[in-house]
């Protein structure tokens, strides 16, 4: 039998320094939706996430909290695991960078790059501010007292030199540019591709890839004084997930990854450093770097000092998981920054989910339950109107695929909900409730048509609102093994006479809490 095509997709690995926030949740939800979409479309999907658990900051945070770095890492990893469950967006595979197998993978790729001649030992030097724990370029410095130099923020800097291994990134500029050129959609959206191309064209410097001032990291092969500096370690998690360096591992068939889904802040690392490392190590490059934007609370960046930090767990439990997923994926054009607020979420959820879809299901299925003995009606001859709405529903798989090809999740949802809106128009203009006495067979045809539209809509909605879509599929009598995109279309239409379970609400309306209640709106409570 022919193997299903593979599809490997990853989120970035969160730094294990703090709790999950809304940005992590958004990325996980979006990646999960894409993964589910591909899986329902027949691909053998490998959905990977991980935890970035090394580095100086981990040591410092752990020390401040009186725990070991490993304990801190364990705690945070558990929180992210919990987040995956809370969002119904569990990954297939989690790589933690403190795992022994990840040490093996990181050291293996390091060794490959070294054998290639791309790693060399030198002095890393620069103006360092002890207070800020950061290096500054000569051009950024400001004059201090007595001819001393200060950082841009006014703290004293000193010239320090540290032994470090370097990666010969400077040798890869042309090859990277050639790759961007030959693979126009290697970085999407274009906006970020343009930035990266401009950056590379200015010329690349070699990259410092080891540190000696802390030891919470992967040891450099053959030189234990050094630990790998964050990016070699962190990026390699994608390889670890696929079994590297064992190229006979069962999961190695998933490499190269089809998509690394990342936030716009780490575009450079994924689209310059990572491909260069892989080229050096003689490994295949991921097919696409898919960049998403940030979410803002009422236009403001989320921050503790503004007091507008929203916990993703709170959001999910307050509005509902599917509701939260739907809102983020529908309201925010994927790739751009977006906003969330209590009003916007309530509007979206009530208008699209409760009113348009939920109510359509409820009104049509309850008519079937009451008037058709709980069985799917046997449709008579189809009118033009019936055929038109059915054709739209049956075309949804293709239309959604077209949108998802460019990771336009919001467009895919737009296509689906356009059919829902038209189905409401269809239902209203056909007036099945008025046909009971005059033409019961016609009523049956209308109700069957509506149920069949719902079936197709529900199949296509599964990646985005998995629980509710599954419920709806139950209600229209869809067998559990007939819910893939391949089952969208006339060939798998609802059989007349099929017993249906009877209607049940899919999406409750969100009703505002009473005035003065302390709970209220978690997303943007400020008025």
The smaller minimum CB distance to RNA, of residues 45 and 157, is found at 157
Q: Is 215 in the site for RNA (CB under 7 A)?
A: no
Chain positions 161 to 180 lying near RNA, rule: CB under 7 A, are 169
Residue whose tokens read 């009971």 = 436
Contacts of 108 (CB under 8 A, 6+ apart): 244, 245
The secondary structure of residue 265, as a DSSP letter, is G
CB of 300 to RNA, least distance (A): 11
Q: Is 471 in the site for RNA (CB under 7 A)?
A: no
295 burial via Cβ count (<10 Å: 0-12, 13-18, 19+): buried
Q: Which of 281, 302, 310, 354 binds RNA (CB under 7 A)?
A: 354
Residue 416 CA to residue 399 CA, distance in Å, equals: 9
Does the protein bind RNA through residue 67 (CB under 7 A)?
no
- Listed in sequence order, the residues at least 6 apart from 33 whose beta carbon sits closer than 8 Å to its beta carbon are 325, 329, 409, 463, 464
Cβ proximity to RNA: between 509 and 526 the closer is: 509
* One residue of 509, 512, 513, 526 binding RNA per CB under 7 A: 509
Of these, 137, 224, 481, 515, which contacts RNA (CB under 7 A)?
137
Encoded tokens for 373: 């003995």
Considering only the stretches 228-236, 242-250, 315-323, 485-493, report the one whose residues sit in contact with RNA under the rule CB under 7 A: 228-236
Q: Pick from 123, 505, 513, 520: which binds RNA (CB under 7 A)?
A: 505
Does the footprint of RNA cover residue 41 (CB under 7 A)? Answer: no
Of 372, 337, 26, 368, residue with least CA distance to 192: 337
111 or 362: CB nearest RNA: 362
3-state SS record for 199-254? HHHCCCCCEECEECCCCCCCEECCEEEEEECHHHHHHCHHHHHCCCCCCCCHHHHH
Q: φ and ψ at 354, to 5 degrees?
A: -70, -55
By C-alpha distance, which of 458, 456, 457, 434 is closest to 446? 434
DSSP 257: P
Q: How far is the CB of 252 from RNA (least distance, A)?
A: 26
Q: Which of residues 7-36 bind RNA (CB under 7 A)?
A: 15, 17
Per-residue interface string for the shown chain with RNA, residues 109-128, x marking contact by CB under 7 A:
---------------x----
Using the minimum distance from each CB to RNA, give the nearer residue, 124 or 238: 124
Binders of RNA among 300-339, rule CB under 7 A? 331-333, 336-339
Question: CB of residue 508 vs RNA: minimum separation in angstroms?
Answer: 6
Choose among 444, 396, 446, 448: nearest CA to 420.
396
- Where does this chain touch RNA (CB under 7 A) — which range of 24-32, 40-48, 66-74, 265-273? 265-273
Instruction: Say whether residue 358 binds RNA (CB under 7 A).
Output: yes
For the segment 367-426, give every residue that binds RNA (CB under 7 A).
367, 421, 424-425
Q: What is the rounded CA–CA span in Å between residue 24 and residue 20? A: 6
Binder of RNA out of 142, 183, 366, 499 (CB under 7 A): 366
Residue 227 contacts RNA per CB under 7 A: no
Q: List the one residue from 31, 76, 208, 288 that touches RNA (CB under 7 A).
A: 208
Q: Which of 142, 153, 194, 383 binds RNA (CB under 7 A)?
A: 194
What is the closest distance, in whole angstroms, from the C-beta atom of residue 381 to RNA in the complex? 22
HSE-CB for 208 with a 13 A CA cutoff: 15
Q: Tell me, by CB under 7 A, how many residues bind RNA.
A: 74
- Angstrom distance (rounded) from CA 185 to CA 168: 26
Which residue in 462, 427, 463 sits closest to 447, CA to CA?
427
Q: Which one of the spans 66-74, 87-95, 196-204, 493-501 is the region binding RNA (CB under 7 A)?
A: 196-204
């Amino acid at each position: 039998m022919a193997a299903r095509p593979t599809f490997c997709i990853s989120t970035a690995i969160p730094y294990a320094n703090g709790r999950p926030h809304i940005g992590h949740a958004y990325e996980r939800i979006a990646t999960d939706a894409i993964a589910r979409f591909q899986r329902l479309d027949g691909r053998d999907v490998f959905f990977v996430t991980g935890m970035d658990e090394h580095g100086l900051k981990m040591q410092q945070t752990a020390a401040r909290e009186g725990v070991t770095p490993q304990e801190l890492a364990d705690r945070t990893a558990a929180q992210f695991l919990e987040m995956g469950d809370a969002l119904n967006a569990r990954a297939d595979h989690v790589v933690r960078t403190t795992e022994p197998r990840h040490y093996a993978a990181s050291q293996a790729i390091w060794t490959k790059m070294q054998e290639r001649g791309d790693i060399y030992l030198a002095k890393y030097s620069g103006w360092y501010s002890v207070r800020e724990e950061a290096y500054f370029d000569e051009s950024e410095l400001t004059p201090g007292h007595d001819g001393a130099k200060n950082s841009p923020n006014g703290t004293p800097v000193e010239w320090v030199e540290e032994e470090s291994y370097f990666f010969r990134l400077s040798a890869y500029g042309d090859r990277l540019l050639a790759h961007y050129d030959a693979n126009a959609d290697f970085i999407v959206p274009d906006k970020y591709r343009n930035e990266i191309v401009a950056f590379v064209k200015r010329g690349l410097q070699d990259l410092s890839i080891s540190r000696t001032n802390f030891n919470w990291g992967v040891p450099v092969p053959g030189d234990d004084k050094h630990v790998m500096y964050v990016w070699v370690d962190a990026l390699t998690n994608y390889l670890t997930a696929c079994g590297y360096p064992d190229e006979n591992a069962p999961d190695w068939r998933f490499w190269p990854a089809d998509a690394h889904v990342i936030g716009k802040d780490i575009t450079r690392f994924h689209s310059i450093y990572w491909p260069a490392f892989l080229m050096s190590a003689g490994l295949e490059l991921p097919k696409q770097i898919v960049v998403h934007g940030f979410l803002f609370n009422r236009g403001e960046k989320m921050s503790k000092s503004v007091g507008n930090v929203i916990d993703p767990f709170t959001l999910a439990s307050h509005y509902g998981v599917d509701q939260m997923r739907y809102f983020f994926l529908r309201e925010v054009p994927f790739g751009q920054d977006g906003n969330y607020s209590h009003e916007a979420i309530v509007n979206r959820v009530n208008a699209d989910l409760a009113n348009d879809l939920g109510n359509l299901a409820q009104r049509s299925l309850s008519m079937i339950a009451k008037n058709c003995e709980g069985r799917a009606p046997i449709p008579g001859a189809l009118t033009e109107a019936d055929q038109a709405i059915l054709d739209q529903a049956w075309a949804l798989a293709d239309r959604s695929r077209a949108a998802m090809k460019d990771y336009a999740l919001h467009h895919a949802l737009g296509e689906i909900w356009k059919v829902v809106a038209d189905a409401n128009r269809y239902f209203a203009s056909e007036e099945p409730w008025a046909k009971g006495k005059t033409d019961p067979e016609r009523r049956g045809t209308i109700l069957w048509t509506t149920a069949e539209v719902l079936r197709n809509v529900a199949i296509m909605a599964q990646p985005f609102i998995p629980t509710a879509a599954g419920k709806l599929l139950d209600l229209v009598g869809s067998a559990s093994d007939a819910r893939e995109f391949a089952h969208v279309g006339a060939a798998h239409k609802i059989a007349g006479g099929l017993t249906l379970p009877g209607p049940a609400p899919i999406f409750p309306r969100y009703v505002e809490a009473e005035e003065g209640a302390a709970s209220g709106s978690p997303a943007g409570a400020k008025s």
